[in-house]
Amino acid sequence: MDVNTTSHSDVPTSPSFTDVVKSYVALTKPRIIELLLLTTVPVMFLAQEGVPPFWLVIATFVGGALSAGSANALNCVVDADIDQMMRRTSRRPLARHQIPTRNALVFGLVLGVVSTAVLGFWVNWLSAGLALAANVFYVIGYTMILKRRTTQNIVWGGAAGCFPAMIGWTAVTNELAWAPVVLFLVVFFWTPPHFWSLAMRYREDYAAASVPMLPSVVGSAEVARQIVAYTWVMVGTSLLLWPLTPTGWFYPAVAIVLGIVFLIEAYDLKSRAQDTEELSVLKPMRLFHYSNAYLALLFVAAAVDPFLR
């Protein structure tokens, strides 16, 4: 007897509400948001020279998170084609077709509008303008123009990730000063060593996606040489905060120690890169992971310093 049956596993199932929420959250790249907020909130303590108003910290935190989430979501929309080709990004929601592209675009734009309103009405319009400028520059300047056209993409495009330091300062003071400019430059010079060490690990992905990230275009020895050069400039720039704020003894002491360790890691990578392209020998992720710790500890030191003067 011929019986037509359909197994339960063959029936397509709609994603649950929880799965949909998780997909939209993933679209905002929460780990990147964490790092950006880590360069925002500590600067508020430095600008206040103490504890800033709680409500102001919350408003800046929420507005900054929404702004970063907007930029990241729009980045995913523009880069959906290459995200599918790269191991590191292949599990992003648009790469896996978990969210319609139109929905993701609307989601990103709405987050941008809401973040501007939150920062404008609850913090100040200078901070809102800086956040909006960072968003636009990241999406248009980096993602749409620089990323696929030049090996210097992350150098100039990475400037978008430097704005949180200035946003944290202006949230408290409603004006710019040399201190947040120095911290902006610290993050600017930190970005190439940070991202290029990661890109060394995934250089084949970038090559397959035709993205001219420096490690996919030149040899590891040249990448490591440039990482060392940027690290020296970054460490020197970080020490400029001492006379310009001015800080007490704690911040420069921490900056020197952290900078020395960063330089050691950079030179170790440069040494390993002289005779091999083998990733198991290069171990570029060592520098990448330390770079995250460096930035976090440096900005926390800037926040703690006022309490120890």
- On whether the CB atoms of residues 278 and 201 are closer than 8 A, the answer is no
Distance CA(115)–CA(132), nearest Å, equals 8
CA triple 41-175-169, angle to 5 deg? 10
The predicted structure's pLDDT at residue 19:
86
The predicted structure's pLDDT at residue 8:
45
Residue with tokens 């030149």: 218
CA-based R_g, the chain, Å: 21
- Which residues lie below 8 Å from residue 243, measured CB to CB, with a gap of 6+? none
The predicted structure's pLDDT at residue 172:
97
Distance CA(183)–CA(170), nearest Å, equals 13
Positions of the chain with pLDDT lower than 70, given as ranges: 1-13
Residue with tokens 């083998």: 278
- Report CA-CA distances (Å) from 290 to 194, 197, 252, 293, 298: 9, 10, 19, 5, 12
Closest by alpha carbon to 305, among 50, 96, 110, 23? 50
The predicted structure's pLDDT at residue 13:
61
Distance CA(227)–CA(268), nearest Å, equals 11
- Report CA-CA distances (Å) from 53 to 34, 63, 131, 180: 21, 16, 20, 19
The predicted structure's pLDDT at residue 245:
85
Closest by alpha carbon to 36, among 45, 25, 28? 28
- Report CA-CA distances (Å) from 5 to 1, 2, 14: 12, 10, 21
The predicted structure's pLDDT at residue 226:
98
Q: What is the largest CA-CA distance in the chain?
A: 90
- What pLDDT, in 10s, does the model give residues 70-104? 999 999 999 999 999 998 899 999 999 999 999 99
Whole-prediction pTM: 0.92
Q: Where are the alpha helices (DSSP H) in 39-143?
A: 41-48, 54-78, 80-83, 101-122, 125-136
- What pLDDT, in 10s, does the model give residues 147-181? 999 999 999 998 999 999 999 999 999 999 999 99
The predicted structure's pLDDT at residue 17:
85
Distance CA(25)–CA(93), nearest Å, equals 9
- On whether the CB atoms of residues 104 and 69 are closer than 8 A, the answer is no
Closest by alpha carbon to 165, among 256, 295, 307? 295
Q: Give the pair of three-digit tokens for residue 137.
A: 């520059």
Residue ranges of domains in the chain, CATH in brackets: 17-173 (1.10.357.140), 177-308 (1.20.120)
Distance CA(135)–CA(66), nearest Å, equals 10
- Which residues lie below 8 Å from residue 65, measured CB to CB, with a gap of 6+? 33, 37, 115
Kindly write down the DSSP assignment for every residue of 135-178, as one continuous string: HHIIIIIIIIIITTT-TTHHHHHGGGGGHHHHHHHHHHHSS--H
